[in-house]
Chain A
Amino acid sequence: MALHRAIVRVLDPIGLHARPAGQLVKLVNDSGLAVRIGRADDELVPANSPLRVMALKAKSGDELQLEVESEDSEKAKSLIAAIVQVLGASK
């Protein structure tokens, strides 16, 4: 499986809390792809788990590593773009 990587910067002033985590899970579930997210120097967590995502305790300004598993690179790219839109800005 091809891995597509990106870095997202969290922009919400109170960080990656329940609502953005919920929006992320919705995007991931709808795509049907395996997505992992986390701090670059740490183990990534499944992005379909809102509790693991919130437990990252990402604050505004933090950068997170994103990994999408997919053979369809167009699909992976559009999912990444949508996630970036929900969480903040790409780097």
Chain B
Amino acid sequence: MTLQPGAVLAGIGIGLEAVSAEVFRVAPRTQQPQRTRAGTISQEKDLLVAAVAKVSQELEAMSASAEPTNSEILQALSFMISDPELLAAATSHIEKGWTAGSALFLAVEEFAQLLAGDPHLEERAADLKDLASRVSAELNGNGLGLSVPLSGKVVLVGEEFFPTDVAQFGKAVVGVVTTKGGPTSHTAIILRSMGIPAVIGCSQAAELVDGQTVLVDPAGDRVVVDADLALATKSINLIAKSFEPIIPVRANIGSLSDSVRAATTSADGVGLLRTELLYLAQQSAPSIDDQTKSYAEIFTAAPEGPVVVRTIDVSTDKPVPFLSVDPSDAAIPGYSLLRDNRGFVLGQLESIERARASTGKDVWVMAPMIASAQEAREFTELARSIGSYKVGVMVEIPELATSVSELAGNVDFLSVGTNDLSQFLFETNRLAPLSPALLSPWQPKLIQLLSRIAKDARVAGISTGVCGESASDPVFAIVLAGLGFDSVSASMSQVGAVRTALSSVSLEQASQIAQIALSADSAESTKAMVLAALREL
């Protein structure tokens, strides 16, 4: 099926400037043919050592001529492929009779498993596999260089490009589109620092053909077929017009050092204190005294304003050693976790109360992954029997999102976790991978649900905030304020930008913007319409 002119392909934008040029597709790497064993075990080992050294030298050479950020990444990759532990693991496979190349792939697979479970580290495992295929190509006596045009202007389209590929992009590569990959991949970081506009994780781009003109529009998180720059989403420069934002901007933190850093930002308190970090490294539950001390330190260091503490949130991918998670509840561990580990949660609530009393801070507590009004009531009763903090719950499961009215008179506040909410909304199985584009907060279905939550909460007299990743997007934060949320909480690095955005409009303007967002029918058009309206203010 060919894509029609004007077709819009959603992805994740890297960079701000748009570019329009012809598509040049890069075929995925084919599996290298299996080489039969050259000879003795020691000859295989020598071959492997030599091939690894060659690839490592190439990386060092690229590193030497790269920009500082890219140079450090290429240097780190060189260390990774020449890791003595990796070589030792590969050597033991050679001793079991494998060829040098297969032995290296087996060893890489073992390390990839050690790195699994953390998205950043999984990206590194992908880098390591790319490096292993370079070593394998070296062993087969053929290089694995990319054949990229050196003149003209092209938009490279492929499954995924690795840092070693990107380092070879010449001036002719003016834009990049990938069908896979995430926003924290090394490739994304390098493209950003090289100033090459890109849209990644754009699965529909697989249907693009060579020679077709496309608009790479990172500000709009999209690729448009047969379009020129006139259609590009203009990036927007928001200028603060008042000293105070229309709603408070708080910071998301997870540790004492975060709390110290947050206090150096313009954050108005802490909108989300994730408590898992305090426990992840512990083999047994810390004493109430120890926990109280940790919380008191964090509260004291925190920026002026309320501190919203989320009780422990554990999933199978970040297990806390001393807590039990029932595998049958693995998809929604939140409240079952509280039931299965009641003693621990009581101790946590007690510690938070003691720290609140000793520091005199305005502390709020909330429970994650609450699925129903009944669960919310059980939690608030429990928490109120222990402390005199404000008590609330996170709204991140659609069932609770639609029963906010039933919470009147019951909870003091609600905090919406948009990341999990959109996952649950668009995919019933939380553990299955989801198209990155669907996780965009600009999905109309999500915005409509957010609007309903804010309205129902207002009628019920409950204060509402948003602490998901979406609140870190300055433009989306304006939509949230316009929908009627009372506060947002952003990642520390985004607090300043979100605050500026929320100081650039009046509440009335924000609600006009929110109405525009509510009238759109696709994620791409929502963002484009909102940006256009903001420019006209």
Q: Which residues of A contact B (CB under 8 A)?
A: 9, 11, 13-15, 17-19, 21-23, 25-26, 39, 41, 46, 48-52, 54-55, 57, 59-63, 88-89
Contacts and interface: CB of A to CB of B under 8 A. Distances in A.
A14 B83 contact: no
Contacts of B283: 41
Given A17-B120, A60-B255, A61-B258, A51 B281 contact: no
A14 to B, nearest CB: 6
Interface of B: 72-73, 75-77, 79-80, 83-86, 111, 114-115, 117-118, 120-121, 124, 127-128, 184, 186, 254-258, 277, 280-281, 283, 492-493
Contact of B83 (A50, A57, A62): A50
Contacts of A51: 80, 83, 85-86, 111, 114-115, 128
A41 to B, nearest CB: 6
Contacts of A18: 73, 76-77, 80, 124, 127, 186
A70 B281 CA distance: 29
B111 to A, nearest CB: 5
B258 A60 contact: yes
Contacts of A50: 76, 79-80, 83
B256 A61 contact: yes
Given A39-B281, A49-B85, A22 B115 contact: no
B462 to A, nearest CB: 32
Given A19-B73, A22-B79, A59 B186 contact: no
A46 B124 contact: no
A19 B85 contact: no
A55 B114 contact: yes
A46 B85 contact: yes
A75 B452 CA distance: 63
A50 B81 CA distance: 9
A61 B186 CA distance: 23
Given A9-B257, A11-B257, A17 B121 contact: yes
Contacts of B255: 60-61
B262 to A, nearest CB: 11
B90 to A, nearest CB: 12
Contacts of B184: 14
B72 A19 contact: yes
Contacts of A54: 115, 121, 124
Contacts of B117: 57
Nearest to A9: B257
Contacts of B75: 22, 26
A70 B13 CA distance: 49
A12 to B, nearest CB: 10
Contact of A22 (B72, B258, B492, B493): B72
A73 to B, nearest CB: 26
A59 B332 CA distance: 24
A23 B75 CA distance: 9
Contact of A59 (B76, B85, B280): B280
A52 to B, nearest CB: 5
A49 B83 contact: yes
Contacts of B127: 18
B76 A52 contact: no
A48 to B, nearest CB: 6
Given A60-B255, A61-B277, A15 B84 contact: no
A22 B493 CA distance: 24
A56 to B, nearest CB: 10
A26 B79 contact: yes
A54 B111 CA distance: 10
A68 to B, nearest CB: 17
Contacts of B120: 14-15, 17
Nearest to A39: B281
Most buried by B among A18, A49, A61, A62: A18
Contacts of A39: 281
Pairs A-B, 6 closest by C-beta atoms: A22-B76, A61-B255, A55-B114, A49-B85, A18-B76, A25-B79
A78 to B, nearest CB: 21
